[in-house]
Amino acid sequence: MKLLPFAVFGFLLVGCLNKQGKVGPSTSAQGTEIRPFLALPFPRGTKCYISEGWTYSAEEQAIHGHIKHRGIDFDAERNTPILAAADGWVIASYHQKPNPINYEGKPIGMALGRFVQIWHPEQGVYTQYGHLERIAEDIPCIKPTQTNDGWDPTFIYQPNGQEIPGWKEIKRGQVIGYMGDSGLYWGTPPQGPDSPMGPSWDEVHLHFEVYQRAPDGMKNIWFDPFAIEGSVADYQDVSQPREDELWLRNEFGLVFADE
């Protein structure tokens, strides 16, 4: 049951080429070049769509109360395997905001739910994979701290690249989880990381982010991997590489993580 009717804008990703939002290198906060290094985090041939761009659609701006999304949403079937987009160090947890907003008389949650974070030391950035149905069993997952009615993964708030206790090395293409809609509840909030999620107000999708963390551990710089930094309509055609994009490409297009 869906609370809100969202149009499925976006494009079908069926093959794959090489964006911080731009083909040339992006630059990290430390001044190092970030060349294309990411593969689409799905098995080869997965049919998926971009349903939300760097800035929110008008419908979601009305709900979230702000414009910037700072991530890309990919729609596919529930339980589609999610793969590591590049080599790195992986950790997983759960996030639920303590104060949901009310929409049409009922609370809706807009947190990450079950998510995975990967640190990519060569590039000096993280990737994050949110709203997972479940996390792969071999991915280290640390229970978050309960705060009022929410759950906060405080252990991941570390300065850029600082070692997180419990994380482990991972290779591109390894399964890290499965697509879902956790963190996007409608009505009664879930009671914890392991409780049923209940109905969601949004469609099943993967929320994908690329970012860095400040000395206090909070996110402070985000990169659009397509280097577009626009709304979903601007992502209709990503067949050609753009300056500063972060995706790997070959002669057929964007590369899938298991290629």
What DSSP line would sit under 15-71, residue for residue?
SB---TT----EE-TTS-EE---B-BSS-TT--EEEEE-SB--HHHHHHHSSSB--S
Give the pLDDT of residue 214: 95
Domain for residue 15, yes or no?
no
| Dist CA 135 CA 175 (whole Å) | 9
Domain for residue 42, yes or no?
no
User: 228: domain CATH number?
Assistant: 2.70.70.10
Q: What is the mean pLDDT of residues 196-209?
A: 83
Give the pLDDT of residue 222: 95
Give the pLDDT of residue 34: 87
Residue owning tokens 């209709």: 236
| 1 vs 190, higher pLDDT | 190
Domain for residue 29, yes or no?
no
| 59 vs 150, higher pLDDT | 150
Q: How far is CA 51 from CA 34, 57, 115, 202, in A?
A: 26, 9, 19, 11
Domain for residue 218, yes or no?
yes
| Dist CA 131 CA 110 (whole Å) | 10
| Residue 32 identity | T
Domain for residue 256, yes or no?
no
Q: Residue 24 — pLDDT band, cuts 50, 70, 90? A: very low
The phi, psi pair for 103, rounded to 5°, reads -140, 120
- When computed from its CA atoms, the radius of gyration of the chain, rounded to whole angstroms, is 17
Q: What is the mean pLDDT of residues 60-85?
A: 86
Q: Residue 103 — pLDDT band, cuts 50, 70, 90? A: confident
| 100 vs 37, higher pLDDT | 37
- Segment 112-148, tens digit of pLDDT: 889 999 999 999 999 999 999 999 999 999 989 888 7
Domain for residue 178, yes or no?
yes
CA nearest 77: which of 47, 112, 52? 47
Three-state secondary-structure class, residue 113: strand
Give the pLDDT of residue 57: 76
Domain for residue 149, yes or no?
yes
Query: Would you say 206 and 43 are in contact if contact means Cβ atoms under 8 Å apart?
Result: no
pTM for the model stands at 0.87
- Segment 239-250, tens digit of pLDDT: 888 989 999 999
Checking if the pLDDT of 4 tops 80, the result is no
Domain for residue 33, yes or no?
no
Give the pLDDT of residue 211: 96
- Domain range for residue 178? 48-240
Q: Residue 27 — pLDDT band, cuts 50, 70, 90? A: low
- Segment 165-176, tens digit of pLDDT: 999 999 999 999
Structural domain total, the chain: 1
Strand partners, 208: 72, 129
Cα 206–chain centre separation: 6
Query: Would you say 41 and 259 are in contact if contact means Cβ atoms under 8 Å apart?
Result: no
| 82 vs 69, higher pLDDT | 82
| Dist CA 190 CA 51 (whole Å) | 25
| Residue 239 identity | S
Cα 57–chain centre separation: 17
* Per-position b or e across 220-250, b if 16+ CB within 10 A of its CB: eebbbbbbbbebbeebeebeebbebbbbbbe
Burial label for 120, CB within 10 Å (0-12, 13-18, 19+), is: buried
CA nearest 219: which of 227, 228, 210, 231? 210
Checking if the pLDDT of 3 tops 90, the result is no
The DSSP annotation for 159-189 comes to STTPPPTT-EEE-TT-EEEEEB-TT-BBSSP
| Dist CA 6 CA 25 (whole Å) | 35
